[in-house]
Structure 1
Amino acid sequence: MALPVKTLIAAATMLAKDERAQRVAKSLWDKGKDAWDKRQGGRATTADRPATAAGAAAQDASGPTQSGWRRGGDRQLRFQDGQTGDLIRFAYTDEHGLTCQRTVGNWRIVGGQLNGYCLNRKQDENFAVDRIGDWEELSLQADR
């Protein structure tokens, strides 16, 4: 439910006059900034991260497997333009260096991008191929 703009302006005006609310807001801001700075300081620099997805896959191949997953790191990642598939699961590193697992259906490679329906976000997404690591194509049929 969206609040009317006049209500938001009235609330902001009241908070701007309240010294206690300002101290609380500053405290929250400072704690959030400290947490963000701590998070940024713990991140690997771009020089520390593998430059290619194949490098990331080779680096992760020695790690333990997660239950129910087959590791895709033992094969070299080479996507071809126009390549398609039904379902793929991979580790994706975004532009900020954060890595997450993504599962994408009805995917295809177009111009260095993997386009498909992301089952995590439940919407169409584009992923840079060079940021994809540790991937595996999943079967749509149940294992018996």
Structure 2
Amino acid sequence: MTSKVTYLGELRTKCEHVQSKSSFITDAPIDNQGKGEAFSPTDTVATALGSCMFTIMGIKARELGINIEGATAGITKSMAADPRRIAGIEVVLTFPASYDGKHRKILERAAKTCPVLYSLHPDIVLDISFHYKHEKKDF
């Protein structure tokens, strides 16, 4: 078993990772009868995309001998109705360094091979962008 989800009532769940015993709470969003006091289940799906992309890029960065520590991903999820579902996910990846063109291409290609991305429904519109720290020029 990978995880255990317990319904706590009031549209809230506790999600526990069996191996590590780490856990987090989900809450239904305000626009769907919830309190919006924690990640919603669909928030966790969208957020998993950014986390997965960084995991795969981290593996590739380690192989390349470069450091991506401190990089961030801003995730914006949009919903659709009838049926209620994730319609789109925007991921803005920002890196604290500027890498050469070859390394950027390798990292970006790696990000787009993450298992979560391949697991998302093809109707979900994905908008993924990469931003790197600008090098200061001495003039």
Q: Same fold (TM over 0.5)?
A: no
Higher strand fraction: Structure 1 or Structure 2? 2
Higher relative contact order (CA 8 A, sep 6+): 1
TM-score (norm 2): 0.24
Pair member with larger Rg: 1
TM-score (norm 1): 0.23
